[in-house]
């Protein structure tokens, strides 16, 4: 499918966006190996999380969808998973692959993890190396990409690992394997990354110690099933925030959004660019902080984006590139080399799309300089990447002419209903069948 977007003014509104992808994945995986029942509300019915649900079912866990966003998981305990009938296909989801690899390294049975063309091109040495040091045996393709063949029946031992890249997926894979390891497993992060795994393990009765950048746990601790209320996903809310900031006289409130401080880099970066974003009604939803986010039309200005905020905004750079293009002056992004190994090479995918829409982007190895200007109409590619697709769609709302974003089926991985949500806000967006 393609999106056709014509310039539009977004109307004042109160909206909700779907549940948090990271929290939904973790609820499924941790709920599956917990003792007793885990009841999840606000679950993200996106393709990535549905792939994790199917994976956990193939490992013998009963997972039932009891409402539009309600899921019940009957946990089987740490040692209750059973051998899958075949290869486990995790679709497009790097989070599913890396966290599952940690979980499966500690099982008595062997398994194979695979995915779509994008996932099967993503680097896995980052998890293979520490998991192997713990005693796991994982075979990948020769360039370190999936499929992953994980041997069962091996004894894991706790290690300390200094993470070479700031990655919550790698940290979580090691901590999950650590539940099956003897002794203490610990990691040190080079920069703070999302801590949903640590919070959810804590809510399930696991003692996770955090001391500065070091996170550790003792192996063998059992998890207790619990209630998980999934907040709305700030990464999805970002597209609506962006639309509101760029539109004329818009004032949009997005309710119940996760504002875990390990995720809010995007708000800090946009505010530093002059964005009128405020948080109201801050509260805790279980262990996760949430708030209502209000974004109003703003005149944005460029500048140098603080590299210290990168790991706190890692998924939001495609949207931030669009904000930078709409800002006055130039915006310099640095220290974002990790974007090159996401669902696409997001630096070059966004540079390609924005150049086609008349924006000057100078790419560097680990960043880009985006020159503020006006988007013109044109046709762009998503590069099979949901966040690239949605970011370029938002650019279309303020372009001088019609924008076609090609190949947008992937939007369903994280934000099912994005087109309807945009249309409800007054965005002139049509979803077209690809010719
Ligand atoms: C995620 C961590 C991030 C992020 C991804 C979700 C998670 O990846 O990009 O969308 O749920 O742990 P890295 O940890 O590899 O940066």
Q: Which positions ≥6 away from 94 have C-beta within 8 Å?
A: 119, 122, 169, 342, 343
The answer to whether residue 384 scores a pLDDT higher than 80 is yes
171 CA distance to ligand 1 centroid (A)? 10
Q: What distance in Å separates the CA atoms of residue 324 and residue 25, rounded to the nearest whole number?
A: 31
From ligand 1's centre to the CA of 169, what distance in Å?
5
> How many whole angstroms separate alpha carbon 347 and alpha carbon 337?
8
pLDDT in tens, 139-195: 999 999 999 999 999 999 999 999 999 999 999 999 999 999 999 999 999 999 999
What CA–CA distance (Å, rounded) separates 354 from 325?
8
The atom of ligand 1 lying closest to the CA of 168 is 14
Atom of ligand 1 nearest to the CA of 315: 9
Q: Is 315 in the pocket of ligand 1 (CB under 6 A)?
A: yes
DSSP states along 18-62: PBPHHHHHHHHHHHHTEEEEEEEES---SHHHHHHHHHHHHTT-E
Q: What angle do CA 353, 259, 33 make, to 5 degrees?
A: 100
Given this model, what pLDDT does residue 434 score? Answer: 78
Partner residues linked to 155 by β-bridges: none
Ligand 1 neighbour 95 (Cβ under 6 A): yes
**Are the C-beta atoms of residues 60 and 74 closer than 8 Å to each other?**
no
Q: Could you tell me which of 302, 395, 284, 287 has the C-alpha nearest to residue 350?
A: 395
Q: How does pLDDT run across 73-84, given as a tens digit for each residue? A: 999 999 999 999
Is residue 414 lining ligand 1, measured as CB closer than 6 Å? no
CA–CA separation, 413 vs 401, rounded Å?
28
Residue range 80-89: mean pLDDT, rounded = 98
**Residue 140's closest CA among 152, 150, 130, 132?**
150
Q: Round the average pLDDT of the chain to a whole number and report it.
A: 97
- Distance (Å) from CA 277 to ligand 1 centroid: 24
C-alpha count within 13 angstroms, C-beta hemisphere, residue 122? 28
pTM for this model (two decimals): 0.98
Average pLDDT over residues 266-286: 98
In angstroms, the CA 298 to CA 380 distance is: 26
Q: Are 49 and 25 in contact (CB under 8 A)?
A: yes
What's the rounded Cα separation, in Å, for the pair 206 and 134? 20
Give the residue from 419, 421, 422, 413 showing the smallest Cα distance to 433.
Answer: 419
* Ligand 1 and 49: CB distance under 6 A: no
Q: Which domains can be identified in the chain, with CATH numbers?
A: 2-19+231-432 (3.65.10.10), 21-229 (3.65.10.10)
How high is the pLDDT of residue 228? 98
Describe the strand order of the beta sheet including 160-162 as a list of residue ranges.
Answer: 160-162, 184-188, 214-218, 208-211
What are the pLDDT digits (tens) for 312-358? Answer: 999 999 999 999 999 999 999 999 999 999 999 999 999 999 999 99
Q: Which atom of ligand 1 is nearest to the CA of 197?
A: 12
Tens digit of pLDDT for each residue in 215-225?
A: 999 999 999 99
Is residue 120 in contact with ligand 1, taking CB distance under 6 Å? Answer: no
Position 415 confidence tier, pLDDT thresholds 50, 70, 90: very high
State the closest ligand 1 atom to the C-alpha of 22, by its place in the atom list counted from 1: 11
Supply the residues annotated as catalytic: 315
Task: Give residue-wise pLDDT tens across range 22-52.
Answer: 999 999 999 999 999 999 999 999 999 999 9
Q: Ligand 1 pocket test: which of 95, 96, 125, 317 has the largest number of ligand atoms within 8 Å of its C-beta?
A: 95
Average pLDDT over residues 256-275: 98
Q: What is the mean pLDDT of residues 295-320?
A: 98
Q: Rounded distance, CA 388 to CA 346, Å?
A: 7
């Amino acid at each position: 499918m393609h999106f056709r977007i014509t310039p539009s003014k977004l109307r004042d509104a109160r909206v909700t966006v779907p549940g948090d992808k990271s929290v939904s994945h973790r609820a499924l995986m941790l709920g599956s190996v917990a003792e007793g029942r885990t009841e999840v509300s606000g679950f993200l019915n996106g393709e990535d999380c549905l792939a994790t649900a199917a994976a956990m079912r193939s490992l013998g866990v009963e997972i039932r969808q009891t409402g539009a966003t309600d899921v019940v998981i009957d946990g089987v305990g740490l040692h209750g998973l059973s051998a899958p009938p075949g290869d486990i296909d995790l679709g497009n989801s790097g989070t599913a692959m890396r966290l599952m690899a940690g979980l499966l390294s500690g099982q008595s049975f062997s398994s194979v993890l695979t995915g779509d063309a994008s996932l099967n091109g993503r680097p896995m040495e980052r998890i293979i190396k520490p998991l192997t040091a713990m005693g796991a045996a994982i075979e990948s393709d020769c360039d370190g990409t999936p499929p992953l063949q994980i041997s069962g029946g091996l004894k894991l031992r706790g290690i300390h690992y200094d993470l070479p890249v700031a990655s919550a997926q790698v940290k979580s894979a090691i901590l999950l394997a650590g539940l099956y390891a003897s002794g203490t497993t610990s990691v040190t992060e080079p920069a703070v990354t999302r801590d949903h795994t640590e919070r959810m393990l804590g809510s399930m009765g696991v003692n996770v110690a955090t001391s500065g950048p070091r996170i550790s746990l003792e192996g063998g601790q059992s998890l207790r099933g619990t209630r998980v209320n999934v907040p709305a996903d700030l990464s999805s809310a970002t597209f609506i925030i962006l639309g509101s900031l760029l539109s004329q006289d818009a004032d949009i409130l997005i309710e119940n959004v996760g504002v875990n401080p390990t995720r809010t880099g995007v708000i800090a970066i946009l505010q530093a660019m002059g964005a009128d974003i405020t948080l109201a009604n801050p509260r805790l939803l279980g262990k996760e902080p949430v708030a209502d986010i209000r974004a109003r039309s703003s005149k944005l200005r460029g500048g140098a984006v603080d590299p210290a905020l990168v790991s706190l905004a890692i998924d939001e750079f495609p949207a931030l590139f669009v904000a930078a293009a709409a800002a006055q002056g130039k915006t310099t992004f640095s220290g974002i080399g990790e974007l090159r190994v996401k669902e696409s090479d997001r630096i070059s995918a966004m540079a390609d799309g924005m150049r086609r829409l008349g924006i000057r982007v100078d790419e560097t190895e680990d960043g880009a300089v985006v020159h503020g200007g006006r988007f013109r109409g044109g046709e762009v590619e998503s590069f099979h990447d949901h966040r690239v697709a949605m970011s370029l769609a938002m650019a279309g709302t303020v372009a001088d002419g019609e924008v076609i974003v090609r190949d947008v089926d992937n939007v369903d991985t994280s934000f099912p209903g994005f087109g309807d949500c945009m249309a409800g806000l007054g965005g002139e967006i049509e979803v077209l069948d690809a010719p």
